[in-house]
Structure 1
Amino acid sequence: MSEIVLPLDPALRAALDDLADAQGRAPEDVALDAVRGCLRQETGRVRAVAEGLARRHADLLRRLGE
């Protein structure tokens, strides 16, 4: 697994530490879950927009593929 460094301001780091402590988890695990959730949500949103564009412009895309 590769690593990434995230610069967190003191308030954000304190909030992360507090949440991790409340959940009995490591701050790194809480942050990893947050990144996964964000990626899932954004991937779904981008997919929905792309599918909408493809439906709206299906005729143009078909003609470009000819």
Structure 2
Amino acid sequence: MSRIHLSLDPALRTALDDLADAQSRTPEEVALDAVRVHLRQEGARVRAVAEGLARHHADLLRRLGE
């Protein structure tokens, strides 16, 4: 597994620690879940935009492919 270093301001670190404590998890587990959720949501949003653009420009894309 690859590692990443995040600099958090004190308030954000406290909030992360508090949430982790409330969930009986480590701050790293909470942060990793947050990253996974964000990537899943943003990936879905980007795919939806790309699909919309592809539909909107389908004729042009078809002609470019000929």
TM-score normalized by the length of structure 1:
0.99
Q: Distance in 1 between matches of 2:8 and 2:26?
A: 16
Deviation at 1:19, TM superposition (A): 0.2
Deviation (angstroms), 1:11: 0.4
| RMSD after superposition | 0.3
Match of 2:7 in 1: 7
> What TM-score, normalized by structure 2, do the two folds share?
0.99
CA distance in 1, matches of 2:53, 2:19: 39
Map of 1:17-32 to 2, 5 A cutoff? 17-32=17-32
Aligned length: 66
- How many Å apart are 1:58 and its aligned residue? 0.2
Partner Cα separation in structure 2 for residue 2 and residue 42 of structure 1: 21
Q: Where do 4+ consecutive residues of structure 1 move more than 3 Å?
A: none
The separation in 2 between residues aligned to 1:24 and 1:40, in whole angstroms, is 24
Partner of 1:65: 65
Any gaps of 5 or more consecutive residues in structure 1? none
Secondary structure (helix, strand or coil) at the match of 2:5 reads coil
Could you tell me how far 1:20 is from its partner in structure 2? 0.1
